[in-house]
Structure 1
Amino acid sequence: MQVDKKTVAVLGGGTGMPVLLRGLKHYPIHLSAIVTVADDGGSSGRLRTEMAMPAPGDIRNVIAALAEVEPIMEQFFQHRFQNGNGLMGHTMGNLILAAMTAVTGDFYNGIKEIARVFNVKGRIYPIANQNMFLHAEMLDGEIVSGESKIPLAKKRIKRVFIEPEAVEPLPEAVKAVREADLVVISPGSLYTSTLPNLVVPQIADALREAEGKVVYVCNVMTQAGETDDYSAADHAQAIIDHVGEGCIDKILVHNQDITESMRIKYAEENATPVDYDRERLDLLGMEIIEADIIDDHKRLLRHDNNKVAQLLCSLIDITKTEHDKER
């Protein structure tokens, strides 16, 4: 008798989400990625403005992470043009997403077609199938508009919100979160990559009412202009403030010291290690999962996709298949 595979839904964007997905795709699970489309900088910002489409950059990175293709094809998809009138700064993947949106007449349909061509493992859902804009209200009351401009304000952020307020998430994305055996909030820029997904009302409702457990994979380092001096509890509290009580069941934190050389490197960016304050996390009512979750072979601090995927899948009693153990 065949047992149905467990389902895992991952929410996020930026650089943190693809790292998790690269590890999770090797497990025998039904995987869904719900991805922010609020980016307004660089190539994504230009295409948003010129074609009135959702931002493709985070979607592109998720397609690359979940694709099962030859390395040269991933390099082709992620290639960024360094010269050329009008082309400079664009990535090939963003241009392909823009072209497929035009061909199919719909951003989500375009994503599905590209995912099929690139043999993507899992389902990819943009948080919305329309253009949306991110705003931040600072503690002093100033409203800063635009994902790329929010960290540059270098002010303490009170809350973020999106426009239009009536933005409709894809029904499939809401269903994936509500019915998943495990929901993962991925690491990344807290206010500009993580929260833009979570503040969509239907997604917030689905998180609070999720049938499975919700796990937040906490950032390892703070980010200048967004989370200066934030502890793990501060990160979690920001999510709760935006989504509501009961939206996080577990938090995964790195429990090893950061080397002095790495601290010095990140200090140049005004970033410091995220301390996990156990007492405050306990008061927030979430289970703390402590582990060494950093890839020691990377030049910068990055979550180890294999370590994190193994930890997350163990929460739903899933291990790699024999085929994938050989990878």
Structure 2
Amino acid sequence: MKDVEIKKKLSMGPKFVVIGGGTGLSVLLRGLKGFTSNITAIVTVADDGGGSGKLREDLGMLPPGDIRSCILALANTEPTMEKLLQYRFTDGILKGQNFGNLFIAAMNEIYGSFEKAVKETSNVLAVTGKVLPMTLEDVKLCAVLENGSTLKGESHIPIDAIKEGSRIDYIYTDPKISYPLEESVEAINEADIIVLGPGSLYTSVIPNLLVNDIVDTIYNAKAPKVYITNVMTQPGETDEYDVLDHVDAILKHSTLDFLDYVIANTEEVPYYILEKYVMDGSKAVLMGVKDEEILRSKNIKLIGSKLIDIRKEYIRHDNIELSRLLMEIAKKEK
């Protein structure tokens, strides 16, 4: 099929709004762009660790890390350019800093706007669809644990939760009021399908739901709402969580009948890989015997599928199979 025909076919694909952040979201986007070009990724900007955190502190800008990953996932660029934008310095004052982050930081300085910087970076890299920050407000993520302690800072929450020996009860942002971009609201209202995740439950997915009126906007949209659970638990964040625990956390930060579908992995993780994760305090996210029945009582359809993709001994979602499942839902509900 010629490039023109492929582009035409993709342009006629369903309108996706994908909400989250981190590695999980970028992995999904790389698969999804092969099925439709109508993609809007709404990405968390609550990150305060690593290179992004340093830029946030030094330049007073929003953290670019998750935005960069999603832009590169949807970019149509040469392999050398992608390697350049993924390059992380190993020495000197730039040690640990990512070139792509610096690129967005430079764009932010040139245009005096993080929103404009993201758009211009997307234009330079010929991005399929749109990548939008969840808000332009400088928000800090906070978590209240089940023992009553309050933790502050996205990068500190999992570490401090482990130290406290207590699970997360709920999260909020400081300031508590922040506003979504108008483009995000328009995309949600026009979407054929709205997808949450995959990604870190409390630090990548749920933070997007804390933006003012975004839960109501998603809830009132005509599109089906789909949540993709993680394959593995995350230490200090979702210890011992099963599929139902993940879903309950989403509903706790939104509303009871917020979701229409939940997609979960049913494939066993190979032992040689699982052993490595268990040593780091992570376990497979399992489906309970009664999960399907319980979710059905909440008017949520559970879809189980083999979704594991192992690359360089790291577990990721199989983004092609995941994209196929999402396309089926979008076409069915359209």
Quickly name the TM-score band, shorter chain normalised.
over 0.9
Matched, 1:41 2:49: yes
Partner of 1:292: 306
Select the residue among 258, 261, 281 that pairs with 1:247. Answer: 258
Aligned CA-pair RMSD: 1.6
Does structure 1 residue 136 correspond to structure 2 residue 150?
no
Moved more, 162-171 or 18-27: 162-171
More helix by share: 2
Task: Tell me, in whole angstroms, the C-alpha distance in 1 between the residues paired with 2:92 and 2:312.
Answer: 32
Structure 1 residue aligned with 2:67, among 55, 59, 76? 59
Task: Tell me the SS of whatever aligns to 2:30.
Answer: helix
Pairwise CA distance, 1:5? 4.4
Distance 2:36 2:209 in 1: 26
- 1:91 matched to which residue of 2? 98
- Alignment CA distance shift 1:261-1:185 (3 Å): same
Residues of 1 paired with 2:309 and 2:171: CA distance? 31
Deviation of residue 284 (structure 1)? Answer: 2.9
Give the residue type in structure 2 aligned to 1:248: L
Query: What's the counterpart of residue 199 of structure 2?
Result: 188
Q: 1:298 to 1:289 in 2, by over 3 A?
A: farther
Counterpart of 2:115 (choices 108, 121, 136) is 108
Residue in 1 aligned with 2:325? 311
Instruction: Determine helix, strand or coil for the equivalent of 2:314.
Output: coil
Residues 208 and 245 in structure 1, CA contact (< 8 A), matched pair in contact too = no
Give distance in 2, aligned partners of 1:174 and 1:234. Answer: 28
* 3-state SS of paired residue (1:235): helix
Between the aligned partners of 1:200 and 1:188, the Cα distance in structure 2 is 18
CA distance in 2, matches of 1:165, 1:174: 19
Give the counterpart letter for 1:260 in structure 2: Y
Alpha-carbon distance in structure 2 between the residues aligned to 1:57 and 1:84: 20
> Please, which moves more after superposition, 265-274 or 23-32?
23-32
Which of residues 64, 80, 93 in structure 1 aligns to 2:88?
A: 80
Q: Is the 8 A contact 2:18 2:197 kept in 1?
A: yes
Q: Which residue pairs with 1:324 in the alignment? A: none
- Once the two structures are superposed, residues 11-36 of structure 1 have per-residue CA deviations (whole angstroms, 9 ceiling, x without a partner) of 00011000100011112341100000
- Contact 2:200–2:234 (8 Å) recurs in 1: yes
Cα deviation, 1:222-245, whole Å, max 9, x if unaligned, reads 111010110101000000000112
**Which residue of 1 is the match for residue 36 of structure 2?**
28
Helix, strand or coil at the partner of 1:112: helix
Q: Output the CA distance in 2 between the equivalents of 1:274 and 1:72.
A: 36
1:146 aligns with 2:156: no
Query: Comparing 219-228 with 3-12, which one deviates more in the overlay?
Result: 3-12
Number of equivalenced pairs: 316
TM-score (norm 1): 0.93
Distance 2:186 2:60 in 1: 27
The 3 A distance-change label for structure 1 pair 309 and 5 is closer
Query: How far 1:4 sits from its partner (Å)?
Result: 5.5
Q: Check the 8 A contact 2:14/2:327 in 1, yes or no.
A: no
Per-residue CA deviations over 1:110-150 (Å, capped at 9, x if unaligned) read 01001000010011110012321100011111110000000
CA separation in 1, counterparts of 2:158 and 2:122? 32
Query: Which ranges of structure 2 fall in alignment gaps of 5 or more residues?
Result: 1-8
Q: Bigger shift: 296-305 or 76-85?
A: 296-305
Residue segments in structure 1 that go unaligned for 5+ positions in a row: 319-327
Deviation at 1:280, TM superposition (A): 3.0
Partners of 1:137 and 1:233 lie apart in 2 by 20
Other structure's SS at 1:301 match:
strand
SS of structure 2 residue aligned to 1:6 = coil
What's the counterpart of residue 172 of structure 2? 161
- Tell me if the contact between 1:174 and 1:202 (Cα under 8 Å) persists in the aligned partners: no
Q: Sequence identity, in percent?
A: 41
Structure 2 partner of 1:323: none
Q: Does 1:17 align with 2:31?
A: no
Say which is worse superposed, 161-170 or 278-287, in terms of deviation: 278-287
SS of match in other structure, 2:309: coil
State the shift of 1:296 in Å.
4.2
**Greater CA deviation, 196-205 or 135-144?**
196-205
- 3-state secondary structure, aligned to 2:142: strand
Looking at structure 2, the residues matched to 179 and 249 of structure 1 have their Cα atoms a distance apart, in angstroms, of 17
Tell me the amino acid that sits aligned with residue 60 of structure 2.
Answer: A
- How far 1:316 moved relative to its partner? 2.1
For the residues of structure 2 that align with 1:133 and 1:176, how far apart are their CA atoms?
A: 25
Deviation string 1:169-188 (CA, Å, 9 cap, x unpaired) is 11111221232110011111
Cα separation, 1, equivalents of 2:172 and 2:198: 19
TM-score by length of 2: 0.91
Which of residues 214, 233, 246 in structure 2 aligns to 1:222?
233
For 2:16, what is the secondary structure of its paired residue?
strand
Report Cα offsets for 1:30-87 as digits up to 9, x if no partner: 11000000000011111111111111100010011011001110010111000122x1
In structure 2, C-alpha distance between the alignment counterparts of 1:79 and 1:131, rounded to whole Å: 26
